[in-house]
C-alpha cells in the first residue's frame, strides 16, 4: 500500500506515482455542513479521472478558497482519494461588551457578524475596524476593540467584541480668519461642530464634541450662511482641526474670503409660452428687485414655481435657477429655467399596509383618482388628510412612473393602535367602592366609525356614557353621531350629577373646513353645595334651581389643515361654536367657545426637528335667563392653564367660593423637541397665560413647565410638570399631571 500526501502548503512531487493511475473512489473525512456532492462539484474531481498531482492540488485549492475550512489535505491509496477537511466553527453567539444597547443595535446592523455564520478571521478584523470608525464618527478617538473567542463545543464558537471606547475630542475654540461682515455667532446655529460653552454638559448647551461625519459639511453650511446674506463670492476653506492628543482638546479653524454683498437685479422665467402669467408669478416671488440676495429665498421661489407647474399636471417639471453675477455693480440677475416635460395622468391608486382599515375609508381622503390630471398639491393634501384621521402612524404616497404620461400612486400606510381598554377599582370615603371600566375604538372594524363606552359604579351612583360617531356617512361629506351619558362631577363648592344625550350632524365644506350642529338635552342636579357658595346663591335674585333642564342647539365651524392628528408639525386648527340654551327647559344663555392652534416645524430650516406651537382659547357667556354655576367658565387643568388644579381659577365671592366667570382667555406657547426618537418620545417646554372674569379679566394667572410626550403603543401619553409663576393666595396648585389619548 502506498500513500501520497497533497497539501496546500507544500506539494511533494513523488516520482514513483504512476500518472496513468486512475481515481477509483473519492472519500471525504470531516465534512459536517457541506455535502459530499457539493464539495465534489466545487473541486471538479471525478471517478475514472487520471491522477495528476497538479489537477488534484488545484482542486484542493478551489475547495479551500470557499472559506469553509481551517485546513484541508488529500491522501491517495491505490486510486482511492481521501480528502480530509477541518471545517471552521460556526458562530453560535455574538456579544458586544463595553457599549450601550443603542450602540449594540447599530454595531450589529453594520458589523455583518451574525449568529449561524462560519467564523472568518478576515470578517472579524473588518468588523473591528468598522466599530472604530463608528466611534470616530461619533467623536470618540483611540477606541480599542479586542475580540475573544471561546469554544462552546467541537463545531460552535462564541465571539465577543470588547470595546474600550476612546475619548471625545472637545473643541475649545473656533477661529474664523478673514471674517469681517459676519462672525462665528452667525454660523454657530447651523454648524454641527461647535465651540464648547460654559457648562457644556448641561442640556441645551454646546458640549463641543467633534463630529467628524459632519465636519466637511460644516464648510458648506457656513458658505450657505454667506449666501443667505448676499455674499455670493464668499470662499470658505476646508476645516482645519488642531488636536492635542495629550488632553483631547482641539482648535477648529476656517479661512474665509467674504467678498461683497449682492443685490437682486432683473428676474426672468424661461418657460414655453402659455404655461403661466410670468409677471404675476414674479410679483409673488420672495426675492424682488433691489432686495439683498438670499439663497434660501431663491430655493423657495424655485420650489414654489415647480409646484405651480406640477399642479397643472406636469409631474416631472424641473426648475433650474441660474445666477448671473455682475461683479462690477454687485448685482445678480436671476433666471429660472423651467422644463415642464409632459402632462401626466393617474393610471391607478394602490393602497398598501392597511390590515384593518378598509380601502374605501382610505380612498375617500385621497384627492386623486385614476384618469385624474396629476397635482402636487392634491398629493400633499391627500397625505395630510390621511394623517389627520388618527388611524395611521405614518402615511407616504409614492409615485411610480408606468409610461411617458402615466403614473401609479402607491399609498403606503402604517396603522396605529386605535382601540383602548382599561379600568380600575378604588374606594372613596363618601361613595364607598368605585369600579370603572372603559372601551374606546376610533376606527371600528376599519370603518372609520368611532365608539366609546365608559362606566363607573359606586355605592351611590352609576355614571357612564355611550358614544358613536360616523365622520363620513356612506363615505359622503356628511357626519352623524351622538351620545347618551350620565356623569357625576365633584367640584370644589358643589357636586354635579348630569344626565342627558346629544345628537350631532355635520358636513365637510371643502378639504379643511367643516360645519356641524348639535342638539343637547340635559338635566343637571347640584348637591353638597358649600356654605360659602350657598351664601352667594342666597343673594341671587334670579333664583336657584337644584335641578335644571337644558335644551340647547350648538352650531359650530372648524378649520384644520395640519399634517398629523397627534403630532402636527405644520398647519392651523381652529374652531368656533355658539351654544343657544333656551329651546324649552330652565336654562337660558348664549355661550361662545373659540379655539385656535398653530404649528410650525423647523426641521427644514435648521435641520433639527423642533416644533413651535401656539394655542389660544376664548370663552364668553351672555346670561339671558337662568345660568347655573356649572355652565359658567373656569380655568385650570391640563387643557385650561397647567400648574393649577382643574376648574380652580375663577372669580370668587366674599366668602372665597368659586362663582365661575363669563369671559375667559387662555394662550400658550410651546416648543417641542425630540428625545428618544426610537420610541417616539419627545420633550416640550411651555408657558401658559390665562385671564378670567365676569365683565373684564379680573383674575390673571401664568405658569411654565416641561412635558414628556410619548406616542406609546397604548396611544399618546403626556406627563406634565408645571410651576405657577403668577398666582394668588389660596390658589390650588397642581405640579404634576398626565393625559392619555390627547393630541399634543
| pLDDT, tens only, 235-254 | 999 999 888 888 888 899 99
| 360-369, 395-404, 690-699, 710-719: least confidently modelled range | 710-719
Higher pLDDT, 714 or 404: 404
**What is the pLDDT, as a whole number, of residue 19?**
47
SS3 640: coil
Q: What is the arithmetic mean of pLDDT over 168-174?
A: 87
Which cell numbers in the block locate residue 682?
419627545
Paired strand residues for 85: 72
DSSP per-residue letters across 510-527: SSSEEEEEEEEEEEEEEE
Q: 52-93, pLDDT tens digit by residue?
A: 777 777 777 777 776 677 677 788 788 888 888 777 777 788
Say which CATH topology domain 90-164 has: Ubiquitin-like (UB roll) (3.10.20)
Largest CA-CA distance found in the chain, in angstroms, rounded: 131
Domains 90-164 and 169-257 share a fold: yes
Q: What is the arithmetic mean of pLDDT over 274-296?
A: 90
For the chain, the structural domain boundaries read 4-87, 90-164, 169-257, 263-339, 345-415, 422-467, 471-740
Q: What is the arithmetic mean of pLDDT over 318-332?
A: 92
Q: Say how far residue 684 (Cα) sits from the centre of its chain.
A: 14
Say which CATH topology domain 4-87 has: Ubiquitin-like (UB roll) (3.10.20)
Contact yes or no for 546/525 (Cβ under 8 A): yes
What's the rounded Cα separation, in Å, for the pair 566 and 682?
13
**What is the pLDDT, as a whole number, of residue 14?**
35
Q: Which CATH architecture has domain 263-339?
A: Roll (3.10)
Report the half-sphere exposure of 37 (CA within 13 A, side-chain side). Answer: 0
What's the rounded Cα separation, in Å, for the pair 599 and 165?
41
CATH code for the domain defined by 169-257? 3.10.20.310
Give pTM, 2 decimals.
0.69
**What is the pLDDT, as a whole number, of residue 291?**
92
What's the rounded Cα separation, in Å, for the pair 536 and 494?
13
- C-alpha distances in Å from residue 744, one per residue of 560, 568, 579, 615, 689: 15, 8, 26, 11, 18
| 425-439, 561-575, 618-632: least confidently modelled range | 425-439
CATH 3.10.20.310 fits 345-415, yes or no: yes
Q: How much of the chain exceeds pLDDT 90, in percent? A: 41
> Angle 515-369-508 (CA atoms, 0-180°, nearest 5)?
0
Q: Which CATH architecture has domain 471-740?
A: Beta Barrel (2.40)
- C-alpha distances in Å from residue 239, one per residue of 13, 18, 133, 177: 62, 71, 19, 11
**What is the pLDDT, as a whole number, of residue 75?**
80
Residue whose C-alpha cell is 369600579: 435
> What's the full length of the chain, in residues?
744
Q: 506-523, pLDDT tens digit by residue?
A: 999 999 999 999 999 999
- The closest of 610, 666, 642, 624 to 742, measured between CA atoms, is 642
Residue 9 in this model has a pLDDT that exceeds 80: no
Q: 464-509, pLDDT tens digit by residue?
A: 899 999 999 998 999 999 999 998 877 888 888 899 999 999 999 9
Q: Which residues contact 172 (CB under 8 A, 6 or more apart)?
A: 195, 196, 208, 249, 250, 251
28: confidence class by pLDDT, cuts 50, 70, 90: confident
Contact yes or no for 253/177 (Cβ under 8 A): yes
Amino acid at each position: 500500500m502506498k500513500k501520497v500526501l497533497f497539501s496546500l502548503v507544500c506539494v511533494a512531487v513523488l516520482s514513483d506515482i504512476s500518472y496513468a493511475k486512475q481515481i477509483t473512489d473519492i472519500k471525504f473525512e470531516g465534512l459536517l455542513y457541506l455535502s459530499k456532492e457539493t464539495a465534489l462539484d466545487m473541486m471538479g474531481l471525478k471517478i475514472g479521472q487520471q491522477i495528476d498531482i497538479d489537477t488534484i492540488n488545484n482542486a484542493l485549492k478551489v475547495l479551500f478558497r470557499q472559506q469553509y475550512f481551517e485546513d484541508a489535505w488529500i491522501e491517495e491509496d491505490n486510486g482511492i482519494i481521501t480528502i480530509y477537511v477541518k471545517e471552521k466553527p460556526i458562530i453560535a453567539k455574538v456579544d458586544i461588551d463595553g457599549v450601550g444597547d443603542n450602540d449594540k443595535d447599530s454595531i450589529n446592523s453594520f458589523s455583518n457578524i451574525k449568529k449561524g455564520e462560519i467564523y472568518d478571521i478576515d470578517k472579524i478584523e473588518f468588523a473591528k475596524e468598522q466599530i472604530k470608525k463608528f466611534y470616530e464618527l461619533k467623536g470618540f478617538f483611540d477606541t480599542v476593540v479586542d475580540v475573544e473567542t471561546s469554544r462552546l463545543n467541537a463545531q460552535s464558537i462564541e465571539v465577543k467584541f470588547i470595546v474600550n471606547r476612546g475619548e471625545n475630542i472637545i473643541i475649545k475654540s473656533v477661529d474664523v480668519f478673514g471674517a469681517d461682515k459676519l462672525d462665528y455667532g452667525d454660523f454657530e446655529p447651523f454648524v454641527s461642530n461647535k465651540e464648547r460653552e460654559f457648562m457644556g454638559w448641561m442640556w441645551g448647551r454646546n458640549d463641543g464634541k467633534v463630529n467628524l461625519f459632519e465636519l466637511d459639511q460644516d464648510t458648506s453650511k457656513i458658505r450657505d450662511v454667506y449666501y443667505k446674506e448676499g455674499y455670493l463670492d464668499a470662499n470658505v476653506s476646508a476645516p482645519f482641526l488642531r488636536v492635542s492628543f495629550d488632553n483631547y482638546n482641539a482648535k477648529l479653524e476656517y479661512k474665509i474670503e467674504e467678498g461683497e454683498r449682492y443685490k437682486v437685479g432683473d428676474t426672468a422665467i424661461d418657460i414655453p409660452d402659455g404655461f403661466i402669467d410670468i409677471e404675476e408669478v414674479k410679483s409673488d416671488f420672495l426675492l424682488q428687485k433691489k432686495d439683498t440676495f438670499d439663497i434660501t429665498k431663491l430655493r423657495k421661489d424655485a420650489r414654489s414655481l415647480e409646484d405651480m407647474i406640477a399642479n397643472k399636471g406636469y409631474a416631472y417639471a424641473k426648475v433650474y435657477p441660474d445666477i448671473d453675477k455682475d461683479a462690477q455693480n454687485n448685482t445678480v440677475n436671476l433666471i429660472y429655467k423651467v422644463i415642464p416635460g409632459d402632462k401626466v395622468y393617474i393610471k391607478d391608486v394602490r393602497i398598501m399596509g392597511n390590515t384593518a382599515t378598509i380601502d374605501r375609508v382610505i380612498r375617500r381622503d385621497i384627492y386623486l383618482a385614476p384618469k385624474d390630471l396629476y397635482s402636487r398639491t392634491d398629493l400633499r393634501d391627500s397625505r395630510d388628510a390621511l394623517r389627520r384621521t388618527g388611524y395611521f402612524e405614518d402615511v407616504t404616497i409614492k409615485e411610480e412612473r408606468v409610461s411617458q404620461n402615466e403614473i401609479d400612486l402607491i399609498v403606503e400606510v402604517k396603522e396605529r393602535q386605535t382601540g383602548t381598554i382599561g379600568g380600575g377599582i378604588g374606594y372613596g370615603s363618601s361613595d364607598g367602592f368605585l369600579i370603572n371600566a372603559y372601551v374606546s375604538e376610533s376606527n371600528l372594524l376599519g370603518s372609520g366609525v368611532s365608539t366609546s363606552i365608559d362606566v363607573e359604579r359606586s355605592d351611590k351612583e352609576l355614571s357612564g356614557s355611550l358614544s358613536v360617531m360616523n365622520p363620513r356617512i356612506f363615505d359622503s361629506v356628511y357626519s352623524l353621531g351622538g351620545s347618551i351619558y350620565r356623569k357625576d362631577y365633584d367640584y370644589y363648592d358643589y357636586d354635579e350629577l348630569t344626565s342627558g344625550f346629544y345628537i350631532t350632524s355635520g358636513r365637510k365644506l371643502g378639504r379643511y373646513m367643516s360645519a356641524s350642529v348639535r342638539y343637547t338635552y340635559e338635566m343637571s342636579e347640584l348637591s353638597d353645595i358649600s356654605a360659602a357658595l350657598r351664601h352667594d346663591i342666597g343673594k341671587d335674585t334670579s333664583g336657584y334651581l337644584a335641578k335644571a333642564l337644558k335644551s340647547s342647539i350648538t352650531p359650530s365651524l372648524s378649520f384644520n389643515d395640519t399634517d398629523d392628528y397627534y403630532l402636527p408639525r405644520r398647519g392651523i386648527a381652529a374652531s368656533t361654536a355658539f351654544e343657544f340654551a333656551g329651546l324649552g327647559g330652565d336654562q337660558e344663555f348664549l355661550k361662545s367657545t373659540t379655539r385656535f392652534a398653530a404649528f410650525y416645524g423647523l426641521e427644514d430650516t435648521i435641520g433639527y426637528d423642533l416644533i413651535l406651537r401656539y394655542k389660544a382659547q376664548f370663552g364668553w357667556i351672555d346670561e339671558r335667563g337662568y345660568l347655573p354655576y356649572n355652565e359658567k367658565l373656569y380655568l385650570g387643568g391640563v387643557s385650561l392653564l397647567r400648574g393649577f388644579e382643574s376648574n380652580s381659577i375663577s372669580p370668587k365671592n366674599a366668602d372665597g367660593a368659586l362663582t365661575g366667570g363669563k369671559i375667559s382667555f387662555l394662550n400658550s406657547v410651546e416648543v417641542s423637541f425630540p428625545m428618544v426618537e426610537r420610541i417616539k418620545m419627545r420633550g416640550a417646554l411651555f408657558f401658559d397665560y390665562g385671564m378670567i372674569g365676569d365683565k373684564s379679566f379680573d383674575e390673571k394667572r401664568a405658569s411654565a413647565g416641561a412635558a414628556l410626550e410619548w406616542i406609546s403603543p397604548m396611544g399618546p401619553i403626556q406627563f406634565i410638570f408645571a410651576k405657577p409663576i403668577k398666582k394668588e393666595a389660596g390658589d390650588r396648585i397642581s405640579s404634576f399631571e398626565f393625559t392619555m389619548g390627547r393630541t399634543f
